[in-house]
Amino acid sequence: MPNPVEVVKRAAVEAVEAGKPVNILFGTVLSASPLKIQVDQKSIYTSKMLILTRNVTDFEVDMTVNHSTEDKGGGSGAAAYEAHKHAYVGKKTFKVHNALKAGEKVLLIRVQQGKKFVVIDRVKGA
């Protein structure tokens, strides 16, 4: 007679596998615009199927800075300027250029029971 605990464990494992709650995939970016990611020879996912995290998109970030420029002059002719130094202080917005590029390897997670994939991040050596 099978152990009841083992029967319950096996049933739970089979239920999870049948539902495939999570599937982790590796892919390669074929093109950035329009975005296409290839997972295997037959599967190419387009932007309609992809959910992008901030790790794989361009984004802006606010930063507070408090420093001075270097005391240098330069240029020549009409574009010449004297050595000067000034403060660079305050809250500034910077753009982080982090969008995917063709040829990059990525990590994807399939959304439960669906045809959507979350692109988590870039990976090396996948």
- What mean pLDDT comes out for the span 51-64? 95
- Domain with 95, as residue range(s), is 20-71+84-122
Please give the tally of structural domains in the chain.
Answer: 1
60 within domain boundaries: yes
> Side chain identity at 26, as an amino acid letter?
F
Q: How far is CA 56 from CA 17, 42, 46, 64, 103, in A?
A: 29, 23, 15, 24, 14
d(CA 25, CA 7): 30
3 within domain boundaries: no
Q: Does the pLDDT value for residue 108 go beyond 70?
A: yes
* pLDDT tens per residue across span 9-30: 776 776 666 666 678 899 999 9
What pTM value is reported for the model?
0.69
39 within domain boundaries: yes
